[in-house]
């Protein structure tokens, strides 16, 4: 708004008060002066519609400057012209007006509110206290707006800080939970490994004991003419070797293999013998390798293949 219009808007308020206008018009213009455009529009629009020149002129200003209504320069001109007709001024033509074009000039304003030959100094120069009060009001409103904006900014910052802190806390909690779960899994795995190692050690010890017992028994049998196939001790010997062989003892595997190859204490079974000798040889028993090669001279290819299949099955069961 230019300098003239800023002064002119205040002048309209002074002029109306000095003319002793009725209460509705005065309340509307007071509301306009105080920036309460909604109340001003409510009070002035009915009066303007009933032909009040002052109300029509102020309504034109509200449309010209977009105060409480959408800015509409042509609508402003319509209200200005209705007011100007009543005081004998020419109409304004704003058919091709730019959006920011001034609707009326300074001379028309003076003719509207002062009249020809009158001193308009008092109108154009309102009381200093009124100007100061208006300035204080505007400054206070600006300060309040700044205070509200600063408060909103702080609230946004606090909310963002809280969200970040919560996000970090949740991440730390997840990390701790993962670390605890991982530690528990390691402890459980270690316990399982220890239990498996213990069981394996016990199995090896048991197998070793059986092998040692079987060897002593085998030696005793050899010293007493082996007792023949019907001797009870040869059955015990075969059972000891067989159990130790299933536990993975290479020496027991070789010996039970030889017993199956000879039919000593067990039924003669070249396929079973070859399988046990093969397992013993795979475990590093050199004597079992030689025994297996000698045994293959007595076996068919089909029997050798059957023996290898039994070895494969045994290995899958003892992974």
pLDDT 10s digits, 75-123: 888 888 888 887 776 666 555 554 444 445 444 544 444 444 444 444 4
Mean pLDDT of all residues in 40-55: 90
pLDDT surpassing 70 at residue 131: no
Distances (CA, A) of 193 to 186, 189, 199: 10, 6, 10
pLDDT surpassing 70 at residue 170: yes
pLDDT surpassing 50 at residue 7: no
Mean pLDDT of all residues in 234-250: 84
Predicted pLDDT at 302 = 94
Confidence of residue 142 (pLDDT cuts 50, 70, 90): confident
Q: Which residue has the tokens 């205040």?
A: 10
Residues 237, 239, 240, 241, CA torsion sign = positive
Q: Which residue has the tokens 């475990």?
A: 283
* Mean of all residue pLDDT scores within the chain: 75
Distance CA 204, CA 106 (A): 117
pLDDT surpassing 90 at residue 257: yes
Return the CATH number of the domain spanning residue range 203-317. Answer: 1.25.40
Predicted pLDDT at 208 = 64
Where, residue-wise, is CATH 1.25.40 in the chain? 203-317
Residues 254, 260, 264, 265, CA torsion sign = positive
User: Cα angle vertex 84, ends 81, 87, to 5°?
Assistant: 160
Predicted pLDDT at 118 = 43
């Amino acid at each position: 708004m230019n300098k003239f219009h800023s002064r002119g808007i205040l002048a309209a308020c002074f002029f109306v008060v000095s003319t002793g206008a009725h209460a509705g018009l005065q309340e509307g213009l007071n509301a306009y002066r105080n920036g309460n455009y909604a109340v001003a529009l409510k009070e002035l629009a009915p009066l303007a519609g009933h032909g009040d020149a002052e109300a029509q002129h102020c309504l034109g200003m509200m449309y010209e400057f977009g105060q409480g209504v959408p800015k509409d320069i042509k609508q402003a001109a319509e209200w200005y012209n209705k007011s100007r007709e009543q005081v004998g001024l020419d109409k304004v033509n704003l058919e091709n007006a730019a959006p920011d074009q001034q609707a009326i000039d300074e001379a028309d304003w003076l003719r509207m509110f002062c009249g020809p030959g009158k001193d308009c100094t008092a109108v154009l120069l309102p009381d200093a206290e009124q100007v100061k009060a208006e300035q204080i009001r505007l400054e206070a409103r600006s300060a309040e707006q700044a205070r509200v904006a600063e408060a909103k900014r702080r609230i946004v910052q606090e909310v963002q800080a809280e969200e970040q802190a919560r996000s970090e806390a949740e991440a730390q909690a997840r990390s701790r939970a993962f670390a605890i779960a991982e530690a528990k899994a390691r402890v459980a795995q270690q316990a399982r490994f220890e239990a498996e190692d213990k069981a394996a050690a016990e199995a090896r010890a048991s197998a070793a004991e059986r092998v040692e017992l079987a060897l002593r028994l085998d030696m005793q049998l050899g010293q007493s003419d082996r007792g023949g196939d019907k001797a009870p001790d040869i059955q015990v010997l075969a059972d000891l070797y067989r159990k130790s062989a299933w536990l993975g003892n290479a020496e027991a595997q070789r010996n039970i293999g030889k017993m199956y190859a000879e039919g000593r204490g067990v039924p003669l079974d070249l396929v079973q013998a070859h399988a046990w000798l093969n397992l013993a040889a795979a475990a590093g028993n050199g004597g079992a390798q030689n025994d297996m090669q000698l045994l293959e001279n007595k076996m068919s290819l089909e029997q050798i293949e059957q023996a290898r299949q039994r070895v494969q099955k045994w290995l899958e069961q003892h992974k």
